[in-house]
Amino acid sequence: MSRREGSLDPQADSSISPLPHLEAKIHQTHSLARLLTKYAEQLLQEYVQHQGDPFGLPGFSPPRLPVAGLSAPAPGHAGLPAAERLQLDAGALSALPPLLDVVRRHQAELNPRALRLLRRLEDAARQARALGAAVEAVLAALGAETRGPRPEPAVAAAAAATDAGVFPAKVLGLRVCGLYREWVSRTEGDLGQLVPGGPA
């Protein structure tokens, strides 16, 4: 366990039980997921504001298709064992940063003056990587495998598909921002069940 992951290294001080460290790490990662859920909401709202009509209009709802093999959390996700849920969370969080980078590149061409949106997209990629690494650290500390099934790496396909036009690029961005929000929120919920005193 890297010291940079929040000192979750029982080997570092064998006189201290690893359990408080693990609890602290879970608490910290849960707080991060909660914070990023708020940021993801803000990102999604800001993204919609900059795309123009019909984005943001009531009733506008493009198909929620998988993006580069990444789908939203499955309906049965909450019923899975904790380690499996966290593995899926970690997998999604590792798939999101390159997709967010694709969206940022598209938006840099479509909305070059939307500096705050561009910064939020860049921050989101960075923060998703950090949250994914933190979830993997929790999994490692729990003795679980750190990676579950991963979505196919198809970022190039995602980027190429949107070369077909502006609208597909905007829809891709909407979908990616939505998936980001769903997965960080899902991660918050999954970690919340591990926090002492959290919901069972």
Partner 1 sequence: MLTLKIWIVQALFIFFTTESVGELLDPCGYIKPESPIVQLGSNFTAVCVLKEKCMDYFHVNANYIFWKTNHVTIPKEQYTIINKTASSVTFTDISLLNIQLTCNIRTFGQIDQNVYGIRIISGLPPEKPTNLSCIVNEGKKMMCQWDPGRETYLETNFTLKSEWATEKFADCKTKRDTPTSCTVDYSPVYFVNIEVWVEAENALGKVTSDHINFDPVDKVKPSPPHNLSVSNSEELSSILKLTWINSSIQGFIGLKYNIQYRTRDASTWSQIPPEDTASTRYSFTVQDLKPFTEYVFRIRCMKEDGKGFWSDWSEEASGITYEDNIASF
Which spans of this chain sit near partner 1 (rule: CB under 8 A)? 2-7, 28-29, 31-32, 34-35, 38, 123, 126-127, 129-130, 132-134
Nearer to partner 1, 22 or 80 (CB): 22
Q: Is-contact 121 174, C-beta < 8 A?
A: no
**Smallest Cα–Cα separation from 131: which of 192, 188, 178, 74?**
188
Two tokens, residue 119 = 């910064």
Q: Shortest Cβ distance from residue 168 to partner 1 (Å)?
A: 30
Nearer to partner 1, 25 or 175 (CB): 25
Nearer to partner 1, 93 or 172 (CB): 93
Nearer to partner 1, 141 or 171 (CB): 141
Between CA 38 and CA 97 the distance in angstroms is 17
Nearer to partner 1, 137 or 169 (CB): 137
HSE-up of 82 (CA within 13 Å, CB side)? 17
Nearer to partner 1, 39 or 55 (CB): 39
HSE-up of 177 (CA within 13 Å, CB side)? 28
Between CA 164 and CA 107 the distance in angstroms is 15
* Backbone phi, psi, residue 178, to 5°: -65, -45
Q: Shortest Cβ distance from residue 91 to partner 1 (Å)?
A: 16
Q: Shortest Cβ distance from residue 47 to partner 1 (Å)?
A: 18
Q: Shortest Cβ distance from residue 128 to partner 1 (Å)?
A: 10
Q: Shortest Cβ distance from residue 80 to partner 1 (Å)?
A: 25
Q: How far is CA 27 from the centre of its chain?
A: 18
Q: Shortest Cβ distance from residue 50 to partner 1 (Å)?
A: 20
CA pseudo-torsion sign 30, 31, 35, 38: positive
